[in-house]
């Protein structure tokens, strides 16, 4: 029998339906892979009983002729999603011991569709980071290694680093991620998997620990484009509990998938050709251009003039929203409390927050507090929101000349853990290609495009018009069919 952990979401779903294997066998295989992969530190909480219970329900359902969209499929859940009865920490000491009494809308939809949960996945603390090094519970180690024999542990990307590592290491066939400035796409690129951030408002934010509410979007991470389409269909949909949820029907993305780009125009934004871009990234991008052309698309150059201002605008807006959102961690309602001897209420707040938040989270809260403070609000926050409006306008103008945009996902392959952790701005620059589409709320996806000279995966990003997830997925499929990406991390763990 084939190793069940070699199968993706579609293959598991379809094989289970055909009776090739039971859901319980699948859950057992992945539960064992989770245990065997502990060296990667991808999971904060293992929940084999949840996966097994969902599998047994699926097996009973199959016997009685009741099949649900994700029956037989176990998933990893980023520990930013509240899960009823299972600790949810956002990888922060601030929420240590927090066991939600309710289920996030996205996980409720996945579990309602028959999926089981393998465990809660590690991430950058409160999703703030690009390497998973800000987690209070240790780094996630990428399953990939450079082929030069130096076994330096590599970053799995961030913030969805547990999600990317678990899928790349075959510990989960798919996982949930969240993306605020690139947190699905950059880790997907670093680990040779696919991931899509849908249009802002497609997936409910209810029950997802908030970082920057005008940017946060959930999305799937999986081994290929079809698997992403399947998971996204279940995760999406209107939710009255989220004021920014879009009240629109969810298209049948999987059924409509097509790798033909005939009649489509794919734009190449010239401002993404940044100074000092490695030749390998240039070459990858050119390969992507050849792929989409081969799939029938017309390739056109477009201009997004405010691209280079996107990152600084993001690092005003996201910390500002974070400073407001994270005000709730006060030691009163949930999470940890620090109460120094004789302390009053204000001292308790300050001591609790000092003990609960990690260095990067504090840094962003302080930046956010500063840019929102009296006398600086207009100079920083209002200015950044004006620049954001210009970035949105850039994209609107580009859509007059093309249907999709093609760019690299990240400016480099995965870097060694520790390489950038001392320099916040160097870390922030990792998101240079992903942040603009986040600021504009656009659907965007990363798919593997090839390997660099060290044998590490590189990702290509497709950005689409608002609500055109289908166009993004189709272009992703066109690239996937042509890239023939079959490399996987050699098992050393």
Q: Which of 357, 399, 415, 485 binds another protein (CB under 8 A)?
A: 357
Positions in 57-96 near another protein (CB under 8 A): none
Smallest separation (angstroms) from another protein to the CB of 140: 24
Residues in contact with another protein, shown as a per-residue x/- string from 108 to 127 under the rule CB under 8 A: --------------------
Q: Which residues pair with 302 in a beta bridge?
A: 269
Sign (positive or negative) of CA dihedral 311, 314, 315, 316: positive
Q: Which residues are designated catalytic?
A: 78, 159, 183
Smallest separation (angstroms) from another protein to the CB of 376: 7
The one-character DSSP state at 91 is T
When asked if residue 387 is in the footprint of another protein (CB under 8 A), the reply is yes
- Tell me, by CB under 8 A, how many residues bind another protein: 71
Tell me the window of 123-131, 163-171, 198-206, 399-407 that interacts with another protein (CB under 8 A): 198-206
Q: Which of 32, 36, 299, 351 binds another protein (CB under 8 A)?
A: 351
CB nearer to another protein: give 141 or 310: 310
Expressed in percent and rounded to 5, the helix, strand and coil fractions of the chain are 40, 15, 45
CB nearer to another protein: give 190 or 395: 395
Q: What residues have CB less than 8 Å from 328, skipping those under 6 apart?
A: none
Positions in 252-311 near another protein (CB under 8 A): 306, 309
When asked if residue 388 is in the footprint of another protein (CB under 8 A), the reply is yes
Q: Which of 149, 150, 344, 484 binds another protein (CB under 8 A)?
A: 344
CB nearer to another protein: give 129 or 449: 129
When asked if residue 397 is in the footprint of another protein (CB under 8 A), the reply is no
Q: How many residues does the chain have?
A: 493
When asked if residue 457 is in the footprint of another protein (CB under 8 A), the reply is no
Tell me the window of 44-52, 227-235, 357-365, 455-463 that interacts with another protein (CB under 8 A): 357-365
Tell me the window of 53-61, 68-76, 288-296, 382-390 that interacts with another protein (CB under 8 A): 382-390
- Report yes or no: 477 and 229 within 8 Å, Cβ to Cβ: no
When asked if residue 426 is in the footprint of another protein (CB under 8 A), the reply is no
State the number of CA atoms in the 13 A half-sphere of 69 facing the CB. Answer: 16
When asked if residue 365 is in the footprint of another protein (CB under 8 A), the reply is yes
CB nearer to another protein: give 283 or 390: 390
CB nearer to another protein: give 287 or 308: 308
Q: Which of 232, 197, 137, 146 is nearest to 431 (CA)?
A: 197
- Report yes or no: 219 and 197 within 8 Å, Cβ to Cβ: yes
First vs last C-alpha separation in the chain: 23
Q: Which of 207, 436, 441, 449 binds another protein (CB under 8 A)?
A: 441
Residue 50 dihedral angles phi and psi, to the nearest 5°? -65, -45
Q: In the structure encoding, which two tokens stand for residue 106, read together?
A: 């996205």
Judged on CB neighbours under 10 Å (0-12, 13-18, 19+), 213 is: middle
When asked if residue 199 is in the footprint of another protein (CB under 8 A), the reply is yes
When asked if residue 101 is in the footprint of another protein (CB under 8 A), the reply is yes
Q: Which of 333, 332, 335 is nearest to 345 (CA)?
A: 332
Which pairs from 34-39 meet CB under 8 Å and 24+ separation? 34/118, 34/119, 34/166, 34/171, 34/172, 36/171, 36/493, 37/143, 37/166, 37/169, 37/171, 37/493, 38/493, 39/141, 39/493
CA distances from 137 to 93, 237, 259 (A): 8, 32, 41
Q: Which of 71, 92, 323, 434 binds another protein (CB under 8 A)?
A: 323
- Report yes or no: 241 and 105 within 8 Å, Cβ to Cβ: yes
CA distance 27 to 37: 15
When asked if residue 493 is in the footprint of another protein (CB under 8 A), the reply is no
When asked if residue 200 is in the footprint of another protein (CB under 8 A), the reply is yes
When asked if residue 316 is in the footprint of another protein (CB under 8 A), the reply is yes
């Amino acid at each position: 029998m084939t190793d069940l952990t070699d199968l993706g979401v579609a293959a598991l779903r379809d094989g289970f339906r055909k009776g090739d294997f039971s859901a319980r066998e699948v859950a057992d295989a992945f539960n064992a892979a989770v245990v065997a992969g502990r060296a990667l530190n991808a999971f904060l909480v293992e929940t084999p009983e949840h996966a097994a219970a969902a599998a047994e329900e699926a097996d009973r359902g199959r016997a009685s002729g009741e099949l649900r969209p994700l029956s037989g499929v176990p998933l990893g859940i980023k520990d930013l999603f509240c899960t009823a009865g299972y600790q949810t920490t956002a990888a922060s000491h601030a929420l240590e011991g927090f066991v939600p009494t309710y289920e996030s809308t996205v996980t409720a939809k996945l579990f309602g569709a028959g999926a089981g949960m393998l465990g809660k996945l590690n991430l950058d603390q409160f999703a703030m980071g690009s390497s998973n090094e800000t987690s209070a519970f240790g780094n996630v180690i990428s399953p990939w290694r450079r082929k030069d024999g130096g076994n330096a542990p590599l970053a799995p990307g961030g913030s969805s680093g547990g999600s990317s590592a678990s899928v790349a290491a075959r510990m989960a066939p798919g996982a949930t991620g969240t993306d605020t400035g690139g947190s699905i796409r950059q880790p997907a690129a670093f680990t040779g998997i696919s991931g899509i951030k849908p249009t802002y408002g497609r997936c409910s934010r209810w029950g997802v620990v908030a970082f920057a509410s005008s940017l946060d979007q959930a999305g799937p991470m999986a081994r290929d484009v079809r698997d992403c389409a399947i998971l996204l269909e279940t995760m999406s949909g209107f939710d009255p509990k989220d004021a920014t949820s879009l009240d629109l029907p969810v298209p049948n993305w999987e059924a409509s998938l097509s790798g033909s780009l005939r009649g489509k125009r794919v734009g190449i934004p010239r401002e993404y050709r940044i100074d000092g871009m490695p030749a390998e990234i240039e070459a990858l991008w050119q390969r992507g251009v050849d792929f989409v052309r081969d799939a029938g698309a017309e390739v056109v150059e477009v201009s997004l003039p405010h691209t280079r201002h996107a990152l600084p605008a993001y690092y005003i807006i996201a910390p500002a929203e974070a400073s407001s959102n994270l005000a709730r961690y006060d030691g009163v309602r949930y999470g940890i409390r620090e109460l120094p001897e004789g302390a009053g209420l204000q001292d308790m707040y300050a001591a609790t927050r000092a003990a609960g938040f990690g260095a990067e989270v504090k840094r962003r809260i302080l930046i956010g507090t500063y840019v929102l403070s009296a006398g600086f609000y207009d100079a920083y926050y209002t200015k950044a929101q004006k620049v954001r409006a210009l970035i949105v306008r850039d994209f609107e103008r580009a859509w007059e000349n093309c249907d999709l945009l093609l760019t690299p996902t990240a400016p480099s392959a995965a870097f060694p853990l520790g390489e950038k952790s001392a320099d916040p701005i160097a870390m922030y620059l990792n998101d240079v290609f992903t942040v603009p589409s986040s600021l504009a709320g656009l659907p965007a996806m990363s798919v593997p495009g090839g390997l660099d000279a060290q044998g590490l995966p590189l990702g290509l990003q497709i950005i689409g018009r608002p609500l055109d997830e289908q166009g993004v997925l189709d272009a992703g499929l066109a690239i996937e069919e042509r890239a023939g990406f079959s490399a996987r991390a050699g098992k050393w763990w």
